[in-house]
């Protein structure tokens, strides 16, 4: 990995955490944690990677499990965090829609955050 890429990834991770620091009242899942778990997916979701990495799928599975095991405020928090990331970042929506199948997730990628 070249030296120029490392600062770029660090800045992108910092940007992801600062842009997506959205919390719903009474929620216990900070958006920064969600984005940290999904940061290995940036190569697939935002760049030219043809498939998600093992680290990407592992992070996505952590979020998926948190989502499934959580109460309404935490599910809303996770959902809003992901929706805000899609709005603010250059995420390929076609690839995002493929992530549940490729990483064996149960969470629907296209959900209405108010339906919990």
- CATH code at 88? 1.10.110
> Is position 111 within any domain?
no
| Contact in structure between 102 and 57 (CB atoms under 8 Å) | yes
> Is position 78 within any domain?
yes
CB proximity list for 33: less than 8 A, separation 6 or greater:
none
Q: Which domain holds residue 88?
A: 5-20+30-102
> Is position 68 within any domain?
yes
Give the total number of structural domains in the chain.
1
State which of 7-21, 72-86, 99-113 shows the largest mean pLDDT.
72-86
* Per-residue pLDDT at 36 exceeds 50: yes
pLDDT band, residue 43 (cuts 50/70/90)? very high
pLDDT band, residue 38 (cuts 50/70/90)? very high
* Per-residue pLDDT at 16 exceeds 80: no
């Amino acid at each position: 990995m070249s030296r120029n890429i490392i600062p770029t990834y660090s800045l992108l991770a910092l940007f992801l955490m600062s842009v997506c620091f959205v919390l719903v009242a009474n929620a216990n899942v900070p958006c920064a944690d969600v984005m940290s778990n999904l940061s290995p997916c940036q190569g697939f979701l935002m760049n030219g990677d043809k498939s998600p990495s093992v680290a990407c799928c592992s992070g996505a599975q952590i979020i998926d499990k948190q989502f499934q095991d959580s109460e309404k405020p935490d599910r809303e928090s996770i959902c809003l965090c992901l929706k805000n990331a899609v709005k603010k970042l250059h995420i390929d929506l076609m690839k995002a829609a493929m992530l549940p199948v490729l990483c064996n997730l149960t969470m629907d990628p296209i959900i209405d955050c108010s339906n919990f």
